[in-house]
Amino acid sequence: MHPLAAAAVGFILTTACAQSQPVNTIPHLQQQGTARQLVVDGKPYLALAGELRNSTTSSQAYMQPIWPRLTAAHLNTVLAAVTWELMEPREGRFDFTAVDHILKDARENNQRVVLLWFGTWKNGKSTYDPVWVKTNQTRFPLIQNEQGRSLGTLSTFSDANRDADSRAFAALMRHLRAVDGSKHTVLMMQVENEVGVLDAPRDFSPAANQAFNGPVPKDLMDYLQAHKNQLMPQVHQAWEAAGFKTSGTWEEVFGRSTVDKNDWQAYSYLTEEIFMAWNYARYVGHVAAAGKAEYNIPMFMNTWIKQEISGWPGAYPSGGPQPHVMDIWHAGAPAIDILCPDCHLTNFTDWCGWYHQSGNPLFVPESAGDAVGAAHALWMVGRHDAIGFSPFGIDGSAGTNTALSRAYEVISQVTPLILEHQGNGTMTAIVLDKGTASETVRLGSYNLEARAGARGGTTAMNPPVALFICTGPDDYVIVARNAGIYFTSATNPSDSVALATVEEGVYAGGKWIPGRRLNGDETPEWKALRFGGDDYTIQHVKLYRYH
Ligand code: DGJ
C-alpha cells in the first residue's frame, strides 16, 4: 500500500477509536447490521443522484446552466465522467482541468460527485483511450474474434494495456487526494464502464486462446473451494456438473458450453463468460488497486445487464459483473467494493434482488428518471438498504417539478430516519410496478398491505409505492404515493387492527412537523391510509388492536 494511503487508513482507525476527536474521515463503506452504508464526513450518506450524459462534463461552459438545475431538482450527488483521452492526451502528461472544473462547480452548487473513469472500456468498447493508445496496436493489443479479426477493443490479455490504464487512474486518484482529500466532494469512483466482450463470447486472440486452453488459475480455484456452499447457482451447477474438479482447463472445470441462442436465461456461453469475467476482474481489479494505493475511497463497477433478446452473442458483453458471475468478480477484483446494475429494464425489482446478494450492497448508477424511476428510488432504499439511485441523462431530465424531484425532496426529508433504520430489520418497501393489485409484507408485529390506485391512477406509468419504517411496537412512518395501506396482525390473526392516530406532516432538519390529523374520509374504510397519486407524502400512524 502506498504510504499516504496507509496514513489515510490509519487516520480512519484513529478517529474511529478516539471518540472525542472531530470526525473527518475520507468516504468509506461501513457495516450497519445487515447493511453496508456509504459513510461521508463521519455520517451515513444516501445518494439521491443522477448521471450526466457521456460528453457533458467535457465542457465547463456547457455544464454551467446545468448545475443549478441539478440542485433545484433535489439531487445531492452527480455522477460525472472523467475520460482517459482528455486526461492523458500525451503519454505521462496529465491534464486535470476537466476534473478540477467538476469539483469547483460541484462545490459551488452544493453537490457531491461520483466520478466515472472512462478508461480502457466504455460500454464494452475502447473509445475513450487516448489516441496514442488507439493507434499503437502492437504495443496495446486488441480483442480478436474466432476468425482472428480484431474487434477494435483493447484486450484484457495485455500487461501493457492494464499498466497504462493503471498509471493514468493512479495519477487521477493522486490528484484527487491532493485537491479533495480534506473536502470529500468526490464520494466514490466507477472504474471503467460496462466492461465485457461484445460480438463474441470471448477474446480469441492468441494470448486469450492460450489462457483458455491452460489451467484455471489457482487463485480462482482456491476461492471457489473456500466459498463452495455460497456460490451463485449457475457457477455452482456448472462446476458440479463437471465433477467439482480442483484443477484443469476452463472447459474441464466448468464444462463445454451448450449454446441456446433463443433462451435469454440459458447462460449459453457460461464457461466463456466465467473465463472473461475472471480476466476482466483481474484487469480492472489491478487498475482499482493502483488507484486505491493513492486515495482509498470506495470503487464500483457498473454492468450492462443481460437482456431479453435472443441472438447472443450481442445481447450483453461477456465477462461483465453480472450477478451469475459475481463470485468470479469477488475472487478476481477484491479492490472493487460494489458490483452494480445499470437497470433501464422493466424487471428492476428482480435485478435489485439479484445484485443485493453475497454481501454486495446495492447502488444503481443508471436507471430511468421518470415517475417509475422515482418510485424505484424510494423502493430500493427501503427494501434493499440501497446506497443510492441515479437515473441516466439527468442533465436532460432534471427539473423542479418532476416526479423525480418531488420524490427526492421527500426522501431527503426522511433520509436521517432511513439511514438510522438500514440494516436492522425495521424498514421495508413495496412497489407495484408489474400491474399487480397489491402486495403484503411483514414488518414488526403487523402485516402491511399496499393496494394499487388510491385514486385509480394507472399503475404502469404511476406505480404505487410505499416505504415503511417501524418506529415503535405499534408505530410506523410511511412515505408513499398512489396507494392505500391496510394493516393486519402478524402475531395473532384473531386480532382486528385499527388506527389509533394518523398524522400527515413533513420532516424539517430531521424533526417531525405534524400537519393535518387524518380521520374519516381520509382514512378509507376507517382502517387504512390513503396516499394520493400526485405527490409523495409522509404519514405517521399509531395502531391498536381489538377483539
Ligand atoms: C449505458 C452506458 O453505460 C451509459 O454511459 C450510456 O451511454 C447509456 N447506456 C445510454 O442509455
For the chain, what is the mean pLDDT? Answer: 92
**pLDDT at residue 383 is higher than 80:** yes
- Verify whether ligand 1 is closer than 6 Å to residue 165 (CB atom): no
**pLDDT at residue 265 is higher than 80:** no
CB distance 150 to 143 below 8 Å: yes
Q: Please name the residue whose Cα sits nearest to atom 11 of ligand 1.
A: 392
**Nearest partner of 474 among 434, 453, 504, 502, judged by Cα:** 502
77 Cα–ligand 1 center, Å: 18
- Verify whether ligand 1 is closer than 6 Å to residue 278 (CB atom): no
What ligand 1 atom has the least distance to the C-alpha of 194?
A: 3
Q: What is the pLDDT of residues 411-430, one digit of tens each?
A: 999 999 999 999 999 999 99
**pLDDT at residue 19 is higher than 60:** no
CA distances for 344 relative to 117, 194, 352, 392, angstroms: 21, 13, 12, 9
Of 199 and 351, the structure prediction assigns the larger pLDDT to: 351
**Nearest partner of 478 among 452, 497, 505, judged by Cα:** 505
Q: Residue 225: how many CA atoms within 13 Å on its side-chain side?
A: 13
pLDDT value of residue 259: 72
Confidence of residue 309 (pLDDT cuts 50, 70, 90): low
**pLDDT at residue 34 is higher than 70:** yes
51 Cα–ligand 1 center, Å: 10
Three-state DSSP class for 494? coil
pLDDT value of residue 314: 47
Confidence of residue 12 (pLDDT cuts 50, 70, 90): very low
Mutate to test the pocket of ligand 1, among 51, 52, 54, 397 (most ligand atoms within 8 A of CB): 54
CB distance 494 to 547 below 8 Å: yes
Confidence of residue 456 (pLDDT cuts 50, 70, 90): very low
Least confident of 17-26, 291-300, 423-432: 17-26
E strands, 1-157, are 28-32, 35-40, 43-45, 47-51, 77-83, 112-122, 142-144, 150-154
**pLDDT at residue 247 is higher than 60:** yes
449 Cα–ligand 1 center, Å: 36
129 Cα–ligand 1 center, Å: 17
* pTM score, whole prediction: 0.93
Dihedral through CA 59, CA 62, CA 64, CA 68, nearest 10? -120
Confidence of residue 24 (pLDDT cuts 50, 70, 90): low
- Verify whether ligand 1 is closer than 6 Å to residue 294 (CB atom): no
- In angstroms, the CA 42 to CA 45 distance is 9
Q: Please name the residue whose Cα sits nearest to atom 8 of ligand 1.
A: 392
123 Cα–ligand 1 center, Å: 7
Least confident of 34-38, 62-66, 389-393, 455-459: 455-459
Cell of 182: 480534506
- Verify whether ligand 1 is closer than 6 Å to residue 77 (CB atom): no
Q: What is the pLDDT of residues 169-190, one digit of tens each?
A: 999 999 999 999 999 999 999 9
**Strand partners for 472:** 475
**pLDDT at residue 27 is higher than 70:** yes
Rg (CA), the chain: 25
Q: Please name the residue whose Cα sits nearest to atom 7 of ligand 1.
A: 54
CB distance 524 to 487 below 8 Å: no
53 Cα–ligand 1 center, Å: 8
First CA to last CA across the chain, in angstroms? 65
Q: Please name the residue whose Cα sits nearest to atom 5 of ligand 1.
A: 54
Q: Can you tell me which residue has the cell 427539473?
A: 399
Residues sharing a CB contact under 8 Å with residue 89, sequence separation 6 or more, in sequence order:
95, 130, 131
- Verify whether ligand 1 is closer than 6 Å to residue 123 (CB atom): yes
DSSP state of 138: T
- Verify whether ligand 1 is closer than 6 Å to residue 54 (CB atom): yes
Residues sharing a CB contact under 8 Å with residue 98, sequence separation 6 or more, in sequence order:
57, 58, 60, 82, 83, 86, 87
- In angstroms, the CA 509 to CA 546 distance is 36
Amino acid identity for residue 1 in this structure: M
What ligand 1 atom has the least distance to the C-alpha of 116?
A: 5
In three-state form (DSSP H/G/I as H, E/B as E, the rest C), the secondary structure along 197-258 is: ECCCCCCCCHHHHHHHCCECCHHHHHHHHHCHHHCCHHHHHHHHHCCCCCCCEHHHHHCCCC
- 217-221, Cβ contacts within 8 angstroms, sequence gap of 24 or more: 217/278, 218/247, 219/331, 219/332, 220/278, 220/328, 220/331, 220/332, 221/246, 221/247, 221/253
DSSP assignment of 78-90 equals EEEEEEHHHH-SB
Q: Please name the residue whose Cα sits nearest to atom 2 of ligand 1.
A: 123
Cell of 361: 450492497
446 Cα–ligand 1 center, Å: 42
Amino acid identity for residue 7 in this structure: A
176 Cα–ligand 1 center, Å: 25
CB distance 110 to 71 below 8 Å: yes
**Nearest partner of 457 among 473, 480, 474, 423, judged by Cα:** 480
204 Cα–ligand 1 center, Å: 26
CB-based burial, 291-303: b 16+ in 10 Å, e otherwise:
bbbbbbbbbbbbb
- In angstroms, the CA 349 to CA 117 distance is 27
- Verify whether ligand 1 is closer than 6 Å to residue 392 (CB atom): yes
Give rounded-to-5 percent helix, strand, coil for the chain: 35, 25, 40
Mutate to test the pocket of ligand 1, among 366, 390, 397 (most ligand atoms within 8 A of CB): 366
Q: Please name the residue whose Cα sits nearest to atom 1 of ligand 1.
A: 123
- Verify whether ligand 1 is closer than 6 Å to residue 342 (CB atom): yes
E strands, 285-431, are 299-304, 338-342, 363-364, 388-389, 427-431
Confidence of residue 267 (pLDDT cuts 50, 70, 90): low
Amino acid identity for residue 159 in this structure: D
388 Cα–ligand 1 center, Å: 18
What ligand 1 atom has the least distance to the C-alpha of 193?
A: 3
Average pLDDT over residues 271-278: 97
CB distance 57 to 80 below 8 Å: yes
Q: What is the pLDDT of residues 350-369, one digit of tens each?
A: 999 999 999 999 999 999 99
Of 265 and 533, the structure prediction assigns the larger pLDDT to: 533
542 Cα–ligand 1 center, Å: 45
